[in-house]
Structures are given as C-alpha cells and as structure tokens.
C-alpha cells in the first residue's frame, strides 16, 4: 500500500509529465501493477484496516438481549458474561454496551384543544434595526391559536408590559375574538410582573412556571387569595373579566392585601 505522497508523485508524472506506466515504475522504483492501479485514480483512498476478531464477538448477541430485557449497567453485564465464560476486558465491553444500549424515548404530552379554547404566546428576537444614530433590538410578539395554528405576529422595539398587553389587544382584533385561555411560554415580561408582586426573584417564577423547585407555595396561595383567583390562574390568562387592582402590598404579618 503506497502513501499519499507517492500517489501524488504518480499522478504528477502521469498527468503532467505524460510519462508511461513503465517509465513511472522505473522512476519511482515501484511495481508496474501498483503504478497501473493508482495512475488513473482521481483521488487517494486509504486502505481500510482489516476487522479483527474480538473475544467479545460471541457474546454480542447476548448483550443486546440482556439490554432489551432490562437496563443493566455495563458492570452488571460484565459479571454475568464472566459466569458464562467471557475472558475479555471490561473496557471493550463497556464501549459496546454504550453503542447498542437502547436510546430512551423522549417523554411528551399530546394536547388537544377545542376551537377558541387556547392561544400560546411568546416573545422572540428579530435582530436589530437602526434608530437615529444607534441601533435598537427588534422584538416580535407571537400568538398562535392552539386549535387552528393560525398565528399573529407583531414587531416591537420593546418587551414591556405595555407592549405585551397592546399586542394581545391587536391579536384579538385580528382574530376577531378572544380565546378562553392564553398560555404564556416562560415570558420574561410576565415573570417580572409576578416577581415584583410576589417579592421574589424572576428565576423563582421561571422555575414555578416549569413546575421545578417551587418551595414557597404558601406565598403563591396568599397572592391568589388576594386576587380572588386560583393559584393556577396566576400563570394563565382566562377569559373572565379581571378585577382591577391598583396596588398590591404586604402587611407586616406577611399577608397579601389588595387596595
């Protein structure tokens, strides 16, 4: 097997110098069959190493069968195969187990919605635009109807609560109706509002929305009681007409009060 440098020499003498095969063989001290093999090849292909047998080969089918039965660790399989006569190393078995172990299917929940039941809302970034002598972040508000997947998109220069509510109004006008629920996808603007009202961090509200690490449930219950809503309504907008609350404060006893 020749190397890449020798291949380039053969191709150069054959295509550029226009030498014959015998002349190239004498020039490079190679066999005529070797020159004939590589002279007309457009690219160099390295020879594949022959596949060597392994002590693990007779047990590969058994390993796959064990993994289909149970999620055994490589060490557990190694111990079982040793009892059945395997004399190879643990390292090659561990690599093979990693290759053939069945991949877990990702868990997901299929949701079904009725017409007008729900819309999903989120912010996105569309880059930036020049405004005067500077550039401003260009955001977009997106609302998608859960049943029909019809969507409304509006470009804005900010993601404040005022923009958030205004975009909702424009979306409902575009759809010519209001859905019963609006699901907000981990939106920072709503997280900030909840965080300020709850007296906690935005990170905490983000975790609560995802159902992760929510220790202060009692505080959420106090807040919901002050608003006269269920706790779940803190994280979804329903079609009911909301009670107008001008200000929220916490008394010295730690109870939410609406004024």
Q: Is the pLDDT of residue 78 over 90?
A: yes
Q: Is the pLDDT of residue 44 over 60?
A: yes
pLDDT at 160: 82
pLDDT at 191: 61
pLDDT at 2: 81
pLDDT at 202: 59
The pLDDT confidence band at residue 256, using thresholds 50, 70 and 90, is very low
The pLDDT confidence band at residue 40, using thresholds 50, 70 and 90, is confident
Number of Cβ atoms within 10 Å of the Cβ of 229: 16
pLDDT at 174: 92
Nearest CA to 182 out of 258, 242, 243, 256 is that of 242
| pLDDT, greater one: 256 or 35 | 35
Q: Which region holds residue 14: left if phi is over 0, alpha if psi is between -120 and 50, else beta? A: alpha
The pLDDT confidence band at residue 212, using thresholds 50, 70 and 90, is very low
How far is 84 from 63, CA to CA, in rounded Å? Answer: 12
Please state the domain extents for the chain: 4-39, 57-100, 118-129+136-184, 188-258
- Digit-coded pLDDT (tens) for 87-139: 999 999 999 999 999 887 776 667 788 998 888 888 888 888 898 899 998 88
Nearest CA to 116 out of 85, 150, 83, 140 is that of 150
- Digit-coded pLDDT (tens) for 138-190: 888 889 998 998 989 999 998 887 888 888 889 999 999 888 887 876 566 66
């Amino acid at each position: 097997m020749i190397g890449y440098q020798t291949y380039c020499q053969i191709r150069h003498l054959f295509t550029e110098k226009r030498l014959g095969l015998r002349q190239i063989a004498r020039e490079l001290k190679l066999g005529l069959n070797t020159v004939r093999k590589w002279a007309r090849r457009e690219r160099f292909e390295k020879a594949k190493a022959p596949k060597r047998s392994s002590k693990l080969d007779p047990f590969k089918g058994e390993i796959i069968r064990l993994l289909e039965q149970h999620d055994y660790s490589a060490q557990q399989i190694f111990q079982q195969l040793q009892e059945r006569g395997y004399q190879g190393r643990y390292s090659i078995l561990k690599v093979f187990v990693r290759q053939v172990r069945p991949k877990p299917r990702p868990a997901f929940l299929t949701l079904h919605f009725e017409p007008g039941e729900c819309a999903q809302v989120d912010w996105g970034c569309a880059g930036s635009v020049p405004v005067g002598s500077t550039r401003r972040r260009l955001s977009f508000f997106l609302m998608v109807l859960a049943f029909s997947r019809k969507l409304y998109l509006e470009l804005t220069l900010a993601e404040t609560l005022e923009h958030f509510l205004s975009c909702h109004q424009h979306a409902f006008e575009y759809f010519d109706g209001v859905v019963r629920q609006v699901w907000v996808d981990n939106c920072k603007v709503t997280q900030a509002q909840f965080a300020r009202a709850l007296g906690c961090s935005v990170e905490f509200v983000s975790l609560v929305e995802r159902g992760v690490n929510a220790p202060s449930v009692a505080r959420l219950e106090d807040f919901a009681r002050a608003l006269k809503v269920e706790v779940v309504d803190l994280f979804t907008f329903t079609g009911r007409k909301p009670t107008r609350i001008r200000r929220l404060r916490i008394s010295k006893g730690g109870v939410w009060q609406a004024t």
